[in-house]
Each structure stands twice: as structure tokens, then as C-alpha cells.
Amino acid sequence: MSQSPENHREDVAGRANVEDTPELLAYYDELEAKNAGALWTVANKIEPWEPQSQSVPVVWAYEDLRADVLRSLKLVTPEKAGRRVVYLSNPGRRDVTAAVGWIYAGLQVMNPGEQATAHRHSASAIRFIMEGTGAYTVVDGHKMTLGANDFVLTPNGTWHEHAVEASGSTCIWQDGLDIPFVNAMEANFFEVHPDLSEPVAYPVDDMTKTWGNAGLTPTNGDWNKGYSPMFKYEWEPTYEALSKYAEATDGSPFDGIMMEYVNPTTNGPVMKTMGASMQLLRPNEHTKAHRHTGSYLYHVAKGSGHSIINGKRFDWKERDIFCVPSWAWHEHVNGSSSDDACLFCLNDLPVMRALGLYREQAFGDNNGNQPIV
């Protein structure tokens, strides 16, 4: 007779702790044959005491990947590939295409004059520009010019296409999507634009010009979609906002000077499933360790340093991407004594918060098995 395949016993009151016996093993086999099972053989596994991320912390060093990304220019065309992207995979999550948790990420590359076909999908996407000039994205007819460290939204259901002007240079940007999440929800639709491209229907950069003015909003502004109308957040005003805020605050001991990209009509996250922030670490800053639920994909927008994630050191520098899985302890260190470091972070906090799943805990808080609510 076989061993029960998954008998996760724990000698703790309230937890499953049933010994295998020949009779029980036969019983498990019978249940399995009927597409059923005994909860106590899996209960301790499927209800862990605290979140058990299968993702592991990873740094994707740009200097390691850049040549491979550029190599794809010669290997495939955007026409054949749809999108020419090298995706980031997490060694703990080979079962899904995810960089961390339920977040997908990739590095997309385009030559001047190239264009990818317009499409839309249920997954929401962001783009974070890494290098090159002349890149643009068209979202529902709104054309956005893109420069380094600009952050662009292509929300769930919007037509979008990416291109680089013929007068530009080879461009690389990071894509971030909630594809694994939407697939886990079994809710992903994909559609290619019937004309393969969508005409630009508005003045260039109109959404940022309309909605991206600090403290000012259009008097007759009308927007009630579930995502931010400010499709593009530019680097310069972002860095300026962080620098100004740094003059007015000591910042958070856990996060330094951190600001969230928001939907200007709600002050809430930019999209329903994914949020993003930019964090400034002052020279020599070393944040205190904490952990929280949710998946976090960092992109080093400026500077260099390291993070300690679940007790292990991960060095990073400008353009590297790294992840902090759910409930992993983490602290960040700016390695420079003279320059700021800035970390862009894409996360699934809107989902965690909307579903009542967000928890956080400071290192050293002794809450037993009860994380801070």
C-alpha cells in the first residue's frame, strides 16, 4: 500500500496530526479515485501559519541581460513575435510566467521605425523606460512620448501599441503586467486590433498635460473609469516631488522618502490591480526591516546599493530589477554617501487592500502568529 502522498502532520493543538494506517491509506486511495480527499492530509499545507511565497528574491542585473535583449533584435521581428520581449522568470515559480508572485515582467526592445501591433487584453500593464529615444505608446488613441524613467499605464481593456520613431534610437523598457493574476482568476481575454494599429486621436501627451499638474485639476474634468486618466508619469516631476518631500519630512524608517503614483481623480492607486511607487533613499540611508503581504518588483531608477531580503544581501545598481516576495523581510541600503538612490516599485497592493489581505509587520514586533492588522 502506498504512503499518503501529502501527510503534513503538526503536533500542535488545532492542527492536523493524523498518523497513516493501512486502513486510512486505503481510504485516501478510494477518495482519490473519486476526485476527493481527506482535508487533514493537506490542511497544514494549504493553511500555512503565515504566507509562504513560492517566489524567491532575485536580482536581474541589467548588465547581464542587456546583450541578450539586444540580441533578440536580430533574431525576431515584432511582426512575427507580436512583442519582442525577454521575460523575467522566478526560479521558485517555474509553473507560471511570473517575476514575483502574480506579477509578470519583461524587457522589451525596439529599433527606430519599428512598431508592434495594437492589441488589448484583460491584463493591465505598465511600462518603465530604461534607455533610448523616440519611444512612444498609444493608449486608446492617446500618444505618449517616452523618456528614461517615465512610467506609462496601459490599463485593462485599453487598446495599446508601442513604437519607436524612425528618428529615435534603439529603446528598451520594462513591461510589468498582472498576467499571472488575471490567469489565476481565469479571466484573461486578448484581442488584436482589427486594423493592427489605432490612429492617434488626441494631442500628443494630452493626458499628462490635462491631469498631471501638481495640485491642479481641470474644472470640467470628467473621468470615472477604474484607472488613472494620467497615462504617463514623467521622471522629472517625480524626482522633483521626492526631493521636495525630502526637505519636509524625515521619511519613514522602513521606506525612506516614498511616494505613490496616484489616480489624480481619486488619490487612489493608478489601476485596480497594480499600484506603483517611487522611493528615494538619501545618501547612506539604511531602512529598518519590515515585511508585508503583496508582491513587489523594484526597478533601480537611480543610484546603487543593496537590499537585505530574508537575511540575504542583494546588491543592485541603476537599471537592475529585483523582487521582494510576499511576507519577506526586507530593508534597503543606499550605498552612496553623496547621491540619492531611487527605487521604482510595481506591486499588487490594490488587490491585497481591496480583498482585505494586506498585513504588515515591523521586524522585532513580537506578535506571535498574529501579524499587525
- Residue among 180 and 335 whose Cβ is closer to ligand GTQ: 180
**DSSP character string of 290-331:** EEESS-EEEEEEE-EEEEEETTEEEEEETT-EEEE-TT--EE
Residue type, 132: G
Closer Cβ to ligand GTQ, 156 or 293, answer by number? 156
Nearer to ligand GTQ, 109 or 258 (CB): 109
Q: How far is the CB of 265 from ligand GTQ (least distance, A)?
A: 24
Quote the distance between the C-alpha of residue 230 and its chain's center. Answer: 19
Q: Which is nearer to ligand GTQ, 104 or 327 (CB)?
A: 104
* Cβ(18)–Cβ(41) below 8 Å: yes
Q: Closest separation between CB of residue 176 and ligand GTQ, Å?
A: 8
35-62: buried (b, 16+ CB within 10 Å) or exposed (e) per residue? eeebebbbebeeeeeebebbbbbbbbeb
- Cα separations in angstroms, 144 against 33, 136, 138, 283: 56, 5, 6, 33
Measure the CA–CA gap between 319 and 301, rounded to whole angstroms. 6
DSSP-assigned beta bridge partners for residue 109: 172
How many Å from the N-terminal Cα to the C-terminal Cα in the chain?
46
Nearest-approach distance from CB 108 to ligand GTQ, in angstroms: 6
Residue nearest to ligand GTQ (CB): 175
* CB closer to ligand GTQ, 83 vs 282: 83
Beta carbon nearer to ligand GTQ, 108 or 149: 108
Binding site for ligand GTQ (CB under 6 A): 83, 85, 106, 108, 121, 125, 154, 175, 177
For the CB of residue 345, give the shortest distance to ligand GTQ in the complex, in Å: 18
CB of 85 or CB of 138, closer to ligand GTQ: 85
Shortest approach of ligand GTQ to residue 99 CB, angstroms? 11
Q: Cα–Cα distance between 347 and 342 in angstroms, integer? A: 16
What's the closest the beta carbon of residue 130 comes to ligand GTQ, in angstroms? 13
Spell 246-277 as b/e; 16+ CB within 10 A means b: eeeeebeebbbbbebbbbbbeebbbbbbbbbb
Shortest distance in whole angstroms from residue 172 CB to ligand GTQ:
12
